A and B are shown apart, each in its own frame.
Chain A
Amino acid sequence: MAMTSAISLLWPEGEAKQNLAPEAAVFDDLHLQEIFAAVCAPVPDFALADWYHAFPGKSMVIRHRQAILRDLLQPSIRSAWTIFTQRMQTLRRQLGRAQKLYHDRQRQRVFLDAIGSYQTIFSSLADALTAAKPRSRALCTVLEGLIHELQAPQRQEMHNTARELRQELDTMRYDLQISGSHVSLWRECLQRNVDEEIAHTFSRFLAAPSGEENAREEQEIGQMDLDPVQARVLDAIAELFPELFARLAAFYQRWAQPNPQAATDTVPALRIARYPFVFVPLLHWERELQFYLAFLEFLSPLEATGLPSCVPELCEEEKHTHADGAYDLALAARLRQEQQENPVLNDIDLHGSERILLVSGPNQGGKTTYARCFGQLHYLAGIGLPVPAQQAQLFVCDAIYTHFERREDAESERSKLEADLLRLRHDLERATPRSIFVLNELFHSTTLDDARFLSQELLKRLRHLDPLVLWVSFLDELSRCGADVVSILSMVDSKEEDKRTFRLLRKPADGLAHALSLARKYGLDYPQLLARIAHASPSS
């Protein structure tokens, strides 16, 4: 059964856990950094960031993850794991406090309870999962592993011993006497009960209507450390029942004593692996599932406002990629928080011999957002997560390369261009026909002529390599270069030409036409302007 424990919920069997991290630039350009930071923020203990930054680029991995994801989208399965993690987090905090208790016997007692809690949490998970009936092979295997461990003789024995000890400790009674500054204890309890005597004697008088009741003082749960007297009382009790407390100590030694050699894990959530009573594979599974669950939690408030998300279908053979009702996830999260609004949804489509989406149109029209959306869809699909769209069939790419125009501008124009081109060449060398490029306003700061030249050259190279490309450019003539290029236009309102709709549609780029109509509107086109000037200067 070693295989069962070794199963990973992120990497299918046989796959090496490769760390294929794309460049930081990709995360920044596509605003994925924002998204993953928001996803990880509520669960820092699980240290998930590295996993979001690893891009497998293989459909086998994606399918493995999607199967698990589909199971997790079942409310009963999702809640089983969510509840489990909530309880485990509480338990982790309790163990953290318990570890710091200075009094040995108290610590042993508290750990006894913690182990009982762990057992309950563990078996509740197994019960909930059994009832929920997962379909993915991975989660079924996990469930088998859980049940196997629960039934293992050692764990059963631990469970039974713990229960017995708790029972005996809870029902243990002794007599305690305080006389001046001396405390005495006896194993046997006297019979007399003064409370009962008083209650019984005066029961012949009827109860008064409850007016001023002294509030019962609750034992403070916060301060757990024993005060000096409680500590000595506990030691004295141990003297009264030496055998019971010896068993308690032995139990602690066996099941709760952390291994001093064990290195402290860098991942905080995994640190409790050093306790013998913890089933370590479950810790790892819990953490791996947070990869999915944390992301689903992040999507939750957006879905509540009506924004769609879906598990995409995968296109492997054909170079086909499609999404309906898609949006930039980072933008959506920001808009929701700042303005309580939703972004506009758009469609994306490349099929047949189409390879390049050429996006043009007026400034601030949503082109960059569209480009980011394109990138995000393929990235999220590529790591096996749901994508921000109503429905999608996305191309399985092996890598994503982004080139977004930077506005930093400290260096000179020339050295900046050099650096950009160098980077471009580097990417083109590494890329394959199964890669994706997202280019945004390249060569923006060079002259028009230079930009034309460079763009035409780049186009040639891209055609040669044959990846999928989304290219935002003001050079709309590129869109008329061939059947493999599709023109996408960011639209303005038909009535108010100033107003952006943030809708991007397949349309021939009309380039100058927009500028012309704008000029006409302000009376600045040739005929009107001429007339106005002529009118203004009557006789000169």
Chain B
Amino acid sequence: MLPHLLDPEKSLAAFPASAQEQHLVEDLGLAPLFTAMAEDDDERREIVERVILRWRCRDAATLRYRQEALTDLSAQPERAEAIFAIAQNSLDLPGQSHQFLLFSKSPSRRLRANTVLMQELLRQLQALRDLGSKEETFHSDALRKLFSRLQQEIDEGFLQAAQEALAALQLDEGVRSAAGADAAGRCVPEALHGGIGNQGWLGKLWRAQHEDAGFSIADRDEAGQTALGKLREQLLTQTAQVLDDAVARVLQFFRLLRDELHFYLAAITLQQKLHQQGLSCCLPEVQEGGGLLGATGLYSPLLPLRGESTVTNDIDARHTPLIIITGANRGGKSTLLRAIGISQLWAESGLYSFAKTMHTSLCQGIFSHFQQEEDAKLQHGKFAEELQRMQDIVPELRARSLVLFNESFAATNEQEGSEIARQITLALRDAGVRIIFVTHLYSFAKNLFDKEGEKILFLRASAEPEAQRFQLLPGAPQASSFAREIYQKIF
């Protein structure tokens, strides 16, 4: 039995980091988002990063699965917290008072500690199961199936069998086991029958049975008492290991449940923060193939988290995989680029997007190619670095990957940069890759505009009065970045 909150078939695991992850985090500026989601909780943060960067949905079904679970938990936050609390409490149990005994080499000590622990865990399992039997039901597949499984597995039969087994581990009055003998005539324990303190009819039967052979060890016989203790531990070794394993399994269930919940709770936290600032999040419509990007009221959540005012944008790129963004400096181009990237990441993770509405499709990997800071080591020229960076991305590209370019290939003269940008862009586009390219390489943009204008979405940041600033609208690339104007103003 596994929680399966994030995927109907798989569980959260340690997925390997990808080479491009770090770039994505830096370029899109994701760190503050993760902080806002996880607040002080390092575990929660790590899990959120892991899922968003490495375990996004592969198909539409899984995506819907997560979206529904998110909706369910968002709608009933107290219940979500209650599930989380039970899981976390269970995981905290070993740490309280019994911990050092759990790692003891003595089987009898471990048995004693684990028997008590298991009783507690059974109580927690029942509490968890009972959470799902209240009036308000869950609607998502994930949660409905989780609780139906709990109903099925944590049933009377299970609880009774567990209690009986644990009762048999009351060993204070004595312990009885089957045994054999090894090639040196030493006693070798086999199946443990249990403690004879069992109050049921079985225990009474055992106590009444007269022995076929036996002997006693005198209290003062030190060597004998030591040897007797050793034999007793031997009888319990196998059982201690079996119980160790059983406890580990139950804890593993709670661990996965808690970790997977971390993800949703983190998402809900962010949603609430944005909601307080009057910003809306929506569950995007995500397709598997075909369908490209379309959004209304799209914004970058980084701005409100910084306390800055937010501008929303509408984009209709449903007929083209290639968006080119030009326009005035500080006109909101990079912000829009980041907004698209972030919402796409969140959408693919099964979470909401930062928009009023959003339509998109699953990408096979999201990559960023942003203009680099000055290379402190000055090992290569900046341009060579940009090309190297592109080189690094290429092996991971697939058809339907998404690449976000921010002022790329500008570290050389415009003619050369434009040509290279053109070649790369067209090659990627023709291979099926989606591209969003922020640039002020005029030749590059103009050339494409002239040749294939209808097939490409051109957005332009305006230099218009403040009210419309940061709004990007469809528009042809313009030659000047108003540098002339500024020059004339000064000179």
For residue B120, give the distance in angstroms from its CB to the closest CB of chain A.
15
A234 to B244, CA, bound (A): 31
Instruction: Give the distance to chain B from A198, nearest Cβ to Cβ, in Å.
Output: 5
Contact indicator A109/B184 (Cβ below 8 Å): yes
Which of A106, A189, A190, A230 sits near B231, CB closer than 8 Å?
A: A230
Q: B228 touching A173 by the CB < 8 A rule?
A: no
Contact: B1 with A185, CB < 8 Å?
A: no
Interface residues on A, range: 35 or more
User: In chain A, residues 201-219, which have Cβ atoms closer than 8 Å to a Cβ of chain B?
Assistant: 201-202, 204-209, 212, 214, 216-217, 219
State the majority secondary structure of interface residues on B: mixed
Does any Cβ of A come within 8 Å of B193's Cβ?
yes
Q: In the complex, which residues of chain B have a beta carbon less than 8 angstroms from the beta carbon of A196?
A: 191
Contact B227 A214 (CB under 8 A): no
Q: Give the residue among A180, A201, A206, A229 with the most B Cβ atoms within 10 A.
A: A229
Chain B min CB distance to A229 (Å): 4
Question: B156-196 toward A: CB 8 Å interface, digit per residue (1/0)?
Answer: 00100110110011000111111111111111011111101
CB atoms of B239 and A232 under 8 A apart: no
Interchain CB contact under 8 A, B212 and A199: no
* Contact A190 to B178, CB < 8 A, known contacts A196-B191, A226-B186: yes
A237 and B202 contacting across the interface, CB-CB below 8 Å: no
- For B242, the chain A residues whose CB sits under 8 A away are 195, 198-199
Complexed CA–CA distance, A193 and B185 (Å): 24
Who on chain A is nearest to B218 by CB?
Answer: A181
Contact stretch, chosen from B38-46, B85-93, B246-254, B375-383? B246-254
Contact between chains at A193 and B191 (CB < 8 Å): yes
Given the contacts A178-B228, A190-B178, A110 and B185 also touching, CB distance less than 8 Å? yes
> Interface residues of A: mostly helix, strand, loop or mixed?
mixed
Return chain B residues, CB-CB under 8 Å to A228.
Answer: 217, 221, 223-224, 227
> B63 at the A/B interface (Cβ < 8 Å)?
no
- Give per-residue flags for A99-114: 1 if the beta carbon is below 8 A from chain B beta carbons, else 0: 0000101100110010
Number of interface residues of B (CB under 8 A): 72
In whole angstroms, how far apart are the Cα atoms of A261 and B187 in the complex?
35
Known contacts being A182-B216, A202-B249, A228-B224, is A189 close to B178, with CB within 8 Å?
yes
- Does A175 contact B158, Cβ atoms closer than 8 Å? no
Residues in B whose Cβ lies below 8 Å from that of A207 = 245, 248-249, 252
CB distance B206 to A190 under 8 Å? yes
| A234 vs B176: C-alpha distance when bound (angstroms) | 17
Contact of B181 among A169, A177, A182 (CB under 8 A): A169
CB distance from A253 to the nearest CB of B (A): 17
Let me know if B219 is at the binding interface, CB within 8 A: yes
Are A190 and B193 in contact (CB-based, < 8 A)?
yes
Q: Does A233 contact B (CB under 8 A)?
A: yes
Beyond A103-B185, A192-B202, A228-B223, 19 additional contacts (C-beta under 8 Å) are A110-B183, A169-B181, A174-B178, A179-B173, A181-B218, A181-B225, A182-B217, A186-B209, A189-B191, A192-B191, A195-B192, A197-B164, A202-B162, A202-B246, A205-B1, A205-B250, A216-B237, A227-B223, A230-B231
Chain B residues within 8 Å of A, Cβ to Cβ: 1-2, 103, 105, 110, 153, 158, 161-162, 164-165, 168-169, 173-187, 189-194, 196, 202, 206, 209, 211-219, 221, 223-225, 227-228, 230-232, 235, 237-239, 241-246, 248-253
Q: List residues of chain A with CB under 8 Å of any chain B CB.
A: 103, 105-106, 109-110, 113, 169-187, 189-190, 192-202, 204-209, 212, 214, 216-217, 219, 224, 226-230, 232-237, 239-240
A/B interface sample: 15 pairs, CB < 8 A: A109-B183, A171-B180, A174-B178, A178-B235, A184-B211, A192-B168, A192-B202, A193-B191, A197-B165, A201-B158, A201-B161, A205-B253, A207-B245, A228-B224, A228-B227
